[in-house]
Amino acid sequence: MEPISPELVLVSPELRDLAFAGQTELPWEGALARAQLRARATPAAPADTGTLYAAATVVGRLVQLAIFVAFVTGAITLALTLIANATATR
C-alpha cells in the first residue's frame, strides 16, 4: 500500500478507512502499551512517607495562615474605611 496524505485522510472517509485498515497497530495503543511497560519496570519509591507527610502538614498550615492573614487584613481595612466614611466632614 502506498502512503496516504494526512490531509486526504481528514477529508475523505474512504481514504480514512483505508489508512486505518492498513495499520497493524493504532498509534495510541502502542504508546499506551509502552507506557504500561515502563510503569511496571519502574521501581517503587522508598517508603519514606513520614518526611513527606510532615512537609505536607507544614505547607498546609502555611496556606491556612496566609488565608487567615488575608481575611483579617481585609476585615481591618473594611472597618477602617467604614469609620473614615462615617466620620468624614461633608
Taking CA atoms, 55 is separated from 60, 61, 64, in Å, by: 9, 10, 14
Taking CA atoms, 43 is separated from 17, 37, 47, 57, 67, in Å, by: 41, 12, 12, 27, 39
Whether 1 maps to a domain, the answer reads no
- State CA 44 to chain mean position distance: 23
Q: What is the arithmetic mean of pLDDT over 63-82?
A: 96
Whether 35 maps to a domain, the answer reads yes
Q: How many domains does the chain have?
A: 2
Grid coordinates representing 44 are 517503587
Q: Output helix, strand, coil percentages for the chain, rounded to the nearest 5.
A: 80, 0, 20
- For residue 22, give its domain range: 6-41
Q: What is the arithmetic mean of pLDDT over 33-52?
A: 70
Task: Kindly state whether residues 53 and 25 are assigned to the same domain.
Answer: no
The pLDDT of residue 58: 93
Task: Kindly state whether residues 28 and 56 are assigned to the same domain.
Answer: no
| The model's pTM | 0.43
The pLDDT of residue 63: 95
Whether 28 maps to a domain, the answer reads yes
Q: Is the pLDDT of residue 72 over 80?
A: yes
Distance between CA atoms of residues 2 and 10, nearest Å: 17
Whether 78 maps to a domain, the answer reads yes
**5-40 confidence digits (pLDDT tens):** 778 777 888 887 777 776 666 666 667 767 777 777
The pLDDT of residue 65: 96
